[in-house]
């Protein structure tokens, strides 16, 4: 049973980031009675969903001196979750009328941004956000957190910069984790003469016209981008880690997409060789290989580290036991339905900070983390999969909900999430427009009637 306390203390809390996670964290913290400041380096709310046609100077995204572009959206992106599942629990992502609105069940990315902007407006979050203010450094001094930030200032934003340090009781980190590229290691790549890039810097297919492209990865982005590029490229060869002999070769329905096993090596003559023995003369290698957690501003003297993409130690992926509850992370788990999870994590953090919800002792939390790590290891799960919640995201969400004293995930949401995964596997090309879970949509819409929005 969760430990609850009737008294509530109001804390001064900094939230880093005004993407979906930061917005709902700010709402929950304020609802709980805390005083909140949200730092956002961009000009608007929405984080990942603010499409940016600009890309980084280093297309591979590895040069540490490059100017960072936050969003990894490509122009053609439509959501990979249906809007009923994807929205916050108490602010449904329902279709809205309007000239700029996209009422499809799996809308384009602009509709998601409009939804997040509506959320920020309806819950009056914008007034809490300091835009164009980047957090440079976060550290602890005498039991308080110091946040050093840099604001772009001047009426015409003439690049004058103002740095300031402010003191907080707590810091909630919501900086996103789809910005820092993870790159595949390819033997011989240094002598290979072609161009490499990461999907973080992919926007539109035009630059790939008549090119031979090798794309690494079969995630949602890899699947979408390969099809996007195939409309103009000469050939698209997809290198996939887990593949069977039956699926290797030309893809049904396409004249110019081939599936391969992983890349074995790249060569000075321009060829890329696959583990299945085939090879292609290649113009571009496009890494759709995911992202790394990146916390360049956080100084905890190694109490929290990022090791092989494990952020840890974190109790239930949120609180570092030795710094809880004064430091927390929203949105670390992946392979999840993000927004509903952000909402529950935020309620938990807000309740713990006020003292309404009681955490176990640091020793107990550390023991829980160590047991969790041991289980992962025993199951042969690599460290970098620590925050992959594909197998138990709803169990996790329900645990959070119980801690917070609120209702567990709706049955239709769980079933619709599973139905969408199955539909995607069965119909990769059309799952966004053809489905069979109409009965669940009706249940969801009935459920949504209880919310005023």
Nearer to ligand FAD, 4 or 204 (CB): 204
Nearer to ligand FAD, 8 or 44 (CB): 44
Could you tell me the smallest distance in angstroms from the CB atom of residue 88 to ligand FAD?
Answer: 11
CA separation for the pair 348, 351 (Å, rounded): 5
One of 11, 26, 37, 70 touching ligand FAD (CB under 6 A): 70
**Is the distance from CB of 385 to CB of 376 less than 8 angstroms?**
yes
Q: Which stretch in 69-77, 120-128, 373-381, 417-425 sits in contact with ligand FAD by CB under 6 A? A: 69-77
Site residues (CB under 6 A) for ligand FAD, limited to 23-62: 39-42, 47-49
Could you tell me the smallest distance in angstroms from the CB atom of residue 116 to ligand FAD?
Answer: 8
Site residues (CB under 6 A) for ligand FAD, limited to 272-301: 297
Q: Which residues pair with 134 in a beta bridge?
A: 150
One of 36, 60, 79, 226 touching ligand FAD (CB under 6 A): 79
Site residues (CB under 6 A) for ligand FAD, limited to 218-237: 221
Could you tell me the smallest distance in angstroms from the CB atom of residue 250 to ligand FAD?
Answer: 26
Nearer to ligand FAD, 38 or 359 (CB): 38
Nearer to ligand FAD, 175 or 354 (CB): 175
Q: Does 334 contact ligand FAD by CB under 6 A? A: no
One of 33, 58, 76, 80 touching ligand FAD (CB under 6 A): 80
- Binding mask of the shown chain, residues 164 to 203, with x at each position contacting ligand FAD by CB under 6 A: ----------xxx-x-------------------------
Given the rule CB under 6 A, which residues bind ligand FAD?
Answer: 16-22, 39-42, 47-49, 70, 72-73, 79-81, 86, 134-135, 174-176, 178, 221, 297, 331, 338-339
């Amino acid at each position: 049973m969760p430990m609850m306390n009737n008294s509530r203390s109001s804390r001064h809390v900094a939230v880093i980031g005004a993407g979906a996670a930061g917005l709902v964290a700010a709402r929950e913290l304020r609802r709980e009675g805390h005083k909140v400041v949200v730092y956002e380096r961009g000009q608007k709310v929405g984080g990942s969903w603010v499409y940016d046609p600009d890309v980084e100077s280093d297309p591979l995204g590895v040069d540490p001196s490059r100017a960072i572009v936050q969003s990894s959206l490509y122009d053609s992106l439509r959501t990979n979750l249906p809007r009923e599942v994807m929205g916050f629990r108490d602010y449904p992502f329902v279709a809205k009328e309007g000239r700029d609105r996209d009422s499809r069940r799996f809308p384009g990315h602009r509709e998601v941004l409009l939804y997040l902007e509506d959320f920020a407006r309806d819950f009056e979050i914008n007034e809490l956000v300091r835009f164009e203010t980047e957090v440079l450094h976060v550290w602890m001094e005498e039991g308080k957190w110091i946040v050093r930030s840099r604001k772009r200032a001047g009426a015409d934003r003439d690049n004058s910069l103002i740095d300031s340090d402010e003191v907080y009781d707590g810091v909630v980190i919501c900086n996103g984790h789809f910005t820092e590229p993870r790159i595949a290691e390819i033997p011989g790549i240094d002598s290979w003469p072609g161009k490499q890039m990461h999907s973080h810097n992919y926007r539109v297919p035009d630059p790939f016209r008549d090119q031979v492209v090798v794309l690494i990865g079969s995630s949602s982005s890899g699947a979408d981008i390969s099809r996007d590029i195939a409309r103009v490229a000469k050939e698209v060869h997809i290198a996939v880690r887990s593949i069977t002999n039956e699926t290797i070769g030309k893809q049904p329905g396409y004249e110019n997409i081939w599936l391969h096993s992983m890349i074995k090596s790249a060569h000075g003559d321009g060829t890329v060789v696959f583990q299945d023995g085939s090879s292609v003369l290649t113009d571009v290698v496009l890494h759709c290989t995911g992202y790394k957690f990146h916390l360049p501003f956080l100084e905890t003297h190694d109490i929290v580290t990022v090791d092989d993409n494990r952020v840890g130690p974190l109790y239930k992926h949120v609180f570092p036991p030795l710094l809880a509850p004064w430091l927390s992370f929203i949105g670390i788990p992946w392979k999840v339905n993000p927004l509903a999870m952000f909402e529950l994590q935020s309620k938990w953090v807000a309740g713990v900070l006020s003292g309404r919800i009681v955490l176990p002792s640091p020793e107990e939390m550390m023991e829980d983390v160590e047991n969790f790590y041991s289980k992962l290891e025993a199951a042969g799960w690599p460290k970098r999969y620590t925050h992959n919640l594909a197998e138990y995201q709803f169990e996790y969400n329900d645990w959070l909900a119980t801690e917070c004293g609120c209702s567990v995930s709706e049955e239709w949401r769980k079933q619709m999430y599973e139905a969408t995964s199955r539909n995607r596997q069965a119909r990769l090309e059309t799952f966004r427009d053809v489905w069979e879970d109409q009965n669940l949509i009706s249940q969801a819409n009935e459920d949504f009637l209880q919310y005023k929005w």
